[in-house]
């Protein structure tokens, strides 16, 4: 008989230790094997907490019960993104016939998963967190009409912020940030070196964020995101960014010239659906 005990580390510390000490009585019974699936670090914290002694050797404590240990390899977040995309059937929304008729909507599915893979590189997030973000995104998509703009880079980025950086998300939702503060807070999330392609992707998402954010604030004095440098006669940003400023200028110009529809959208178009304020369409 093989008995599996999963996620013991997620239980109340005293209960987790009690379970281990109770099943220990059966360890010597012939024909019975226990398989414990645990986060060893968390369980060790629980053991020290129960015994009220940070100096207790919790590793040695566990060795009294565990004969053989095996560590699972780190999950591949990129592969998991592909799996979640298929599991939640995003193509049932992104690849509908009505959306494929519009050139600017045809690549939304690819853009969604492309940006998801990028932001999940910013930290070693548990698979449950990734799943939560994808599940929320799929639910929010149900409130879009089949031919409405989703802006997938910005859409998944906002759900990521809502899940993991609620202070930034709430500031965006309540329009409490200045342009510069918003740019600085968003770019501070980047804790790794980006390739040129990744930089382009992130910068384009930022451009969408800034344009739609300021469109939503009726009290904000509208000023240009880029203007002409009087000396060089070239376009420059009207705010400071630690990313490639030339790419940023190109991204803003791209939104203005090639994605003109975005200029009429406010970030509330996405926020209201992410917050599930909009009725879900069948």
Tens-place pLDDT, residues 252-262: 888 877 654 56
What CA–CA distances, in Å, run from 175 to 3, 51, 168, 267? 53, 48, 10, 10
31-54 as b/e: b if 16+ CB within 10 A: eeebebebeeeebbebbbbbeeee
Q: What is the pLDDT of residue 158?
A: 98
Check: CB of residue 34 under 8 Å from CB of residue 46. no
* 109 token code pair: 């599915």
Nearest CA among 124, 150, 132 for reference residue 278:
150
Confidence of residue 268 (pLDDT cuts 50, 70, 90): very high
Hey, which bits of the chain come out as E strands? Answer: 2-6, 33-37, 226-228, 235-237
Coil, strand, or helix at residue 195?
coil
pLDDT digits (tens, 9 = 90+) for 80-129: 999 999 999 999 999 999 999 988 899 999 999 999 999 998 888 888 99
DSSP 84-152: HHHHTTTHHHHT-HHHHTSGGGTTHHHHHHHHHHHHGGGS---HHHHHHHHHHHHHHHTTS-TTS---H
**Whole-model pTM?**
0.81
pLDDT for 219 beyond 70: no
Per-residue pLDDT at 222: 59
Given a cut of 80, whether residue 231 has pLDDT beyond it is no
């Amino acid at each position: 008989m093989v008995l599996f005990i999963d996620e013991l580390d997620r239980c109340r510390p005293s209960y987790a230790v009690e379970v281990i000490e109770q099943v220990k009585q059966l360890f010597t019974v012939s024909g019975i094997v226990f398989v414990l699936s645990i986060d060893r670090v968390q369980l060790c914290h629980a053991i020290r907490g129960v015994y009220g002694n940070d100096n207790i050797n919790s590793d040695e404590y566990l060795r009294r019960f565990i004969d053989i240990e095996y560590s699972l390899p780190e999950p591949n977040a990129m592969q998991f993104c592909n799996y979640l995309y298929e599991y939640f059937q995003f193509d049932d929304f992104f690849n509908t016939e009505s959306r494929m008729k519009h050139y600017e909507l045809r690549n939304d599915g690819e853009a969604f998963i492309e940006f998801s893979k990028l932001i999940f590189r910013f930290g070693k997030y548990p698979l449950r967190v990734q799943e939560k973000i994808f599940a929320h995104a799929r639910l929010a998509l149900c409130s879009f009409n089949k031919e409405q703009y989703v802006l997938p880079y910005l859409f998944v980025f906002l759900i990521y912020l809502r899940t993991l950086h609620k202070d930034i998300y709430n500031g965006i939702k309540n329009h409490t940030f200045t342009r510069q503060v918003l740019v600085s807070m968003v770019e501070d999330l980047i804790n790794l070196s980006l390739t040129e392609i990744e930089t382009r992707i992130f910068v384009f998402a930022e451009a969408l964020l800034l344009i739609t954010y300021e469109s939503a604030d009726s009290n904000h004095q509208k000023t240009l995101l880029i203007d002409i440098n009087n000396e060089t006669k070239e376009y420059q940003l009207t705010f400071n960014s630690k990313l490639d400023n030339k790419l940023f200028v190109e991204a803003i110009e791209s939104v203005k010239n090639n994605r003109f529809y975005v200029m009429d959208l406010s970030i509330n178009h996405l926020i209201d659906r992410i917050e599930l304020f909009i009725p879900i369409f069948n």
